[in-house]
């Protein structure tokens, strides 16, 4: 079955290296506990808040060696008074795991975006 895994991280600065580093940290935090194999990934969708535009987070593809996986980047809606410099991801992959076994990762300050996942 295809399942979705969500995650988010706050990027330290609107700089290319910082965005790619944050994307790498987030992807590694999702891949390992969910035992994601690139051959089972259908697609990876990144979004960033409007204040992040120095790089495409999908550049992490090269670091992961996921050359054949489709990646897409987009911009989040600019909602006033929300957390800044946030990079989010949705990974769709084929797994036998049940929904309750999926380990979403909201790292650092982004844990406040999904307090219901804090005990994962």
**17-59 confidence digits (pLDDT tens):** 999 999 999 999 999 999 999 999 999 999 999 999 999 999 9
- Number of domains the chain contains: 1
The parent domain of residue 46 ranges over: 2-97+105-117
Name the pLDDT band for 118 (thresholds 50, 70, 90).
Answer: low
φ, ψ of residue 115 to 5 degrees: the values are -60, -20
Q: Any idea what the Cα angle at residue 63 is, between residues 96 and 117, rounded to 5°?
A: 45
Amino acid 117: pLDDT:
75
CATH of the domain at 75: 3.30.1330.40
Amino acid 119: pLDDT:
55
Name the pLDDT band for 88 (thresholds 50, 70, 90).
Answer: very high
CB under 8 Å to 9, separation ≥6 — which residues?
22, 23, 25, 26, 86, 87, 106, 107, 108, 110
Active-site residues: which are they?
A: 6, 61, 73, 76, 88, 106, 114
First to last CA, the chain: 21
């Amino acid at each position: 079955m295809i399942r979705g895994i969500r995650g988010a991280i706050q990027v330290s600065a609107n700089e290319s290296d910082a965005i790619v580093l944050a994307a790498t940290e987030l992807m590694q935090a999702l891949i390992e506990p969910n035992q994601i194999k690139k051959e089972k990934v259908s697609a990876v969708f990144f979004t960033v808040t409007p204040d992040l535009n120095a790089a495409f987070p999908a550049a992490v593809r090269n670091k992961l060696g996921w050359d054949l996986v489709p990646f897409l980047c987009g911009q989040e809606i600019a909602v006033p008074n929300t957390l800044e410099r946030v990079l989010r991801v949705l990974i769709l992959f084929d797994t036998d795991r049940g929904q309750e076994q999926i380990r979403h990762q909201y790292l650092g300050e982004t844990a406040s975006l999904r307090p219901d996942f804090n005990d994962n």
